[in-house]
Amino acid sequence: MMVQKQVGMGALACALVWQLVAGTTVNAAGPTLTLSSQETITSGAIMKNYIWTTTRSNKDVSVIANVVEVDLTNPNVKIDAMAGTNNQFTKNQSVLGMVKDTGAVAGVNGDFFNTQAEGVPEGAQITNGQVMATPAKISGLYSFAITKSNQPIIDIFDFQGKVTAKDGTSFDLGGVNKTYYWDDNDVAMIADGLFLYTNAWALTQRAVDGTHVPTEALIQNDVVKEIAVDTNIKMVAPADGYILRGSGLAREFIVNHLKVGDKITTKYDMVPHDASKTYDWKNFKMLIGGSTLLVDEAKPSYFTRNIGDFSGYSPRSRTAIGYSKDMKTAYIITSDRSAGSAGMTLPELQQFMISAGVWRGMVLDGGGSTQMVSRPLGDYDPKLVNKTENGNQRSVANGVGVYSTAPKGELKGLILKGQNILFMNESSTYQFKAYDDYYNPISVDGIVPQWSSSTTNGAFKDNVFTPTLPGKTQITAKSGKGSASMDVEVVGRDQITSMKFNSGAFSVIEGGDFKLPISVTTRSGATRELPAASATWELSGIKGTLKDGILHVDSASGSQAAQVIARYDGYSTMVTLPVGQEKVWYDLDNFAVMTTGDKYPAEVVSAVNIVPTSGNKSLEISYDFTKGTGTKAAYARFNGMNGAQIEGEPEFITAKVLGDGSFNWVRAEIIDADGKLNYVSFTENMNWTGWRKVTADVSDLKFPIKLKSVYVANPANGQDERALKGKVNIDDISFIYEGQLPALPKNTIKLNVYKKQATLNDKSYTLEQAPTIVNDNTLVPIRFVTEALGGNVKWDDKERKVTVVRGDKLIDLWIDNADLFVNGDRVTAEVSPKIMNNVTMVPLRLISERLGFKVGWEPKNYGITIE
């Protein structure tokens, strides 16, 4: 394969800021880099969290990126390569597992590897000065190394090796601990190759490709101990030896020139591809392989591999490594493609790396492999830092670890962790941690700190604080070895500026469960979700229950809308939800249409069957995606290729899916009124087993529509991250039709300022209190006006509060208090509500604007028309 040289994005024009503080922004020729937070991991290593914003297809997108900066001059920290489980290949595990196994304080995934083979890196690896693997004979593969003098190197290395038999015959060695692979000319390297395996290879079989039969020789202390012709030696190589594996010409060498008891000579070397370089791998403390060079002299480099082979031009999660111009700092980098983070193309990654300070850098494996792990300050246990593409932590072949080499130090600092925004009567647990002079954790076992609050608005029981009154306080943990404090705000009604349901718009249906989260924003600008237990709840229009913020609808019979009111410390908010109409379209017990199987491409094996599950019938789609190329799919088609007509204009399509945990997609094909085929996704990450109800939005389609199929898909992009075989069951395909909120009455009220006579739809009434003017604001009797226009009014005598509900609007107001709560927002009126002759009078302008009244004014007679 020819090396594809492509120019990366243009060099960044501006000078780069190398040391940032949180909140600092660097604008680098278009894209914007903002340091959102940073924390010391250990002496010599800092975690920096960035938001990188760029323009893609004329739209601004943001990417979450994490960088571990390692000071290569600090004697208390080192970087090393990690491998699999117990530092062995073929026993892959997550980066978190490797970090825990090796005692690292941080780590990322490493080299590319063949997910269909035994799971060994494509390139070389040196761990703690010991060769674990040598580079493949593939052009353009770079490696990152650190010498014993802590000098970082990024370069291409070539392998040279030879085995010499007792009779003087020699045979070139193909590499150390390599699985089967093909070179740039698509030649299978294992076909005639001789390869060496150490005890770093954990399996008793080596490079099994199903085609080339191995012949192997066991060597200990340079002496041939065993030869297995046309089979493998069924053991792992011993610590004092190695196993040679050969096929083809290499088999002939073993059979004809090696004999048990003979002494042989094996030599190999890794040399710079550039003959002018003088690196000696024996002087390397560590080395990790990767792929293309990305950055050279703080500029985007030519790509030394065809990056299309690993989705280089698509936004994906990425991992990279590099170092600074002065060679004193190493940068270990990840960027996320997940909810809230748009991923990076490799050209974008080049820009980011330069902005972050990288002088020379290269790419590591990415996509579903991207994982960054770090130990939070004061913690013993490392944690996953980034959000992975598929929500799972993939088992990978190797990784890069950061290690503390510092001695045990004295207490340097304490950390108090817990919630800093609390609601009244919300119990919150606080943790006490400590770290030493080298920012490594100190055990607090046996230390029982004294917990206290600076005010009397709450109390501690052990380390659990329960506030009872609103206001600010400082909580403190003290022990004989130090103390730590944290500012805490206890939210009450006076601190709230907004309290809103953030569940979005949807229709509710009988038997459904609907999450109703509430966000509270304080005067200080802090936002937090209100714990469901801290609120009191009221339902109207439906029967149901609310538990842990989940509304379960038992019955909505005869109702067009559900009103849910939540109250906290006298602050109210409301959401009005239409009652949707769910119609089961396909359940195989009562409703069904002709269903047939289909597949794409032709090599895919699939079937559809009707099977019993949990006492009902369901549609089973089985699939085998092991053959074929590109996107693969297994279909259940309705009414052949024509699709089945769907009644009306549904808002959603729903189905129950018995998942198989394959991470495949479940989708539907829908034909719209123009004959256009639309693809809607029930899920693009089937990471569950068991039954789950899934929903897809079809409201934007042009009606009428036909449902052509439901199907399981494994898209070409990221295909190696999903299962190739499995089965999925589907039942109760239904359509939900949007409910309609009830119309408000179209009444007309006529009033006159200073007059008690009023009319409602031309019917005369006498008011107890006439409308009046106070400070240029017209006040009207709220109960008469609201009830006449279809609303409800409630009076709370204890608080002297009036609650007004009309349609989907809610207002709380207090007598002689200018602050009103309108649909969850705090609003200040020009004139406070008043009581006149035992009648609550409110500002007409404010009420009309907030409740949706249409108001007319006749200045000659001070006449008011409200409708």
Q: Output the furthest CA–CA distance in the chain (Å, rounded).
A: 123
Indicate the burial class of 709 (C-beta count within 10 angstroms; 0-12, 13-18, 19 or more): buried
Q: Does residue 795 contact residue 812 with C-beta atoms inside 8 Å?
A: no
Beta bridge partners of 56: 59
Nearest-CA neighbor of 355 among 52, 62, 152?
A: 52
DSSP characters for 63-81?
A: EEEEEEEEETT-TTEEEEE
Taking the C-alpha atoms of residue 476 and residue 453, their distance in angstroms, rounded to an integer, is 6
Nearest-CA neighbor of 475 among 436, 538, 419, 405?
A: 419
* pTM > 0.75: yes or no: no
- Measured in degrees and rounded to the nearest 5, phi and psi for residue 703 equal -90, 155
Nearest-CA neighbor of 573 among 605, 622, 522, 530?
A: 530
Per-residue confidence (pLDDT) for residue 16, from 0 to 100: 28
Q: Does residue 440 contact residue 548 with C-beta atoms inside 8 Å?
A: no
- Joined tokens for residue 165: 């038999």
The pLDDT tens digits for 651-683 are 889 899 999 999 999 999 999 999 999 999 999
Q: Does residue 334 contact residue 344 with C-beta atoms inside 8 Å?
A: no
Per-residue confidence (pLDDT) for residue 24, from 0 to 100: 46
Coil, strand, or helix at residue 346? helix
- Joined tokens for residue 115: 């997910």
- Alpha helices (H) along 219-320: 249-257
Per-residue confidence (pLDDT) for residue 53, from 0 to 100: 96
- Joined tokens for residue 373: 């792990």
Taking the C-alpha atoms of residue 326 and residue 204, their distance in angstroms, rounded to an integer, is 45
Sequence-separated contacts (24+) of 461-467 with Cβ below 8 Å: 463/429, 463/430, 463/431, 463/432, 464/427, 464/428, 464/429, 464/430, 465/418, 465/422, 465/427, 465/428, 465/430, 466/425, 466/426, 466/427, 466/428, 467/422, 467/423, 467/424, 467/425, 467/426
Coil, strand, or helix at residue 534? helix
Q: What is the DSSP letter of 140?
A: T
User: What structural domains does the chain harbor?
Assistant: 166-263 (no CATH), 414-491 (2.60.40.1080), 494-580 (2.60.40.10), 583-737 (2.60.120.260), 749-866 (3.30.457.10)
Nearest-CA neighbor of 197 among 188, 207, 211?
A: 207
Taking the C-alpha atoms of residue 849 and residue 844, their distance in angstroms, rounded to an integer, is 8
Q: What is the DSSP letter of 283?
A: G
Dihedral sign of CA atoms 632, 638, 643, 646 in order: negative
DSSP characters for 22-62?
A: TT-EEE-SS-EEEEEEEEEEETTEEEEEEEEEEEETTEEEE
Beta bridge partners of 758: 765
Taking the C-alpha atoms of residue 667 and residue 665, their distance in angstroms, rounded to an integer, is 6
Indicate the burial class of 737 (C-beta count within 10 angstroms; 0-12, 13-18, 19 or more): middle
Residues of the chain with pLDDT under 70: 1-29, 480-482, 511
DSSP characters for 484-500?
A: EEEEEEEE-GGGEEEEE
C-alpha distances in Å from residue 748, one per residue of 107, 180, 599: 70, 84, 63
Residue 467 makes CB contacts below 8 A (sequence gap 6+) with 422, 423, 424, 425, 426, 457, 458, 473, 488, 490
Taking the C-alpha atoms of residue 101 and residue 262, their distance in angstroms, rounded to an integer, is 39
Taking the C-alpha atoms of residue 367 and residue 738, their distance in angstroms, rounded to an integer, is 38
- % of the chain with per-residue pLDDT over 70: 96
Per-residue confidence (pLDDT) for residue 511, from 0 to 100: 67
Q: Does residue 769 contact residue 751 with C-beta atoms inside 8 Å?
A: no
Nearest-CA neighbor of 366 among 330, 341, 399, 339?
A: 399
Taking the C-alpha atoms of residue 103 and residue 91, their distance in angstroms, rounded to an integer, is 18
Taking the C-alpha atoms of residue 69 and residue 39, their distance in angstroms, rounded to an integer, is 11
- Alpha helices (H) along 475-603: none
Per-residue confidence (pLDDT) for residue 8, from 0 to 100: 30
- Measured in degrees and rounded to the nearest 5, phi and psi for residue 851 equal -100, 0
Q: Does residue 341 contact residue 54 with C-beta atoms inside 8 Å?
A: no
Residue 374 makes CB contacts below 8 A (sequence gap 6+) with 41, 47, 66, 68, 105, 106, 382, 383, 385
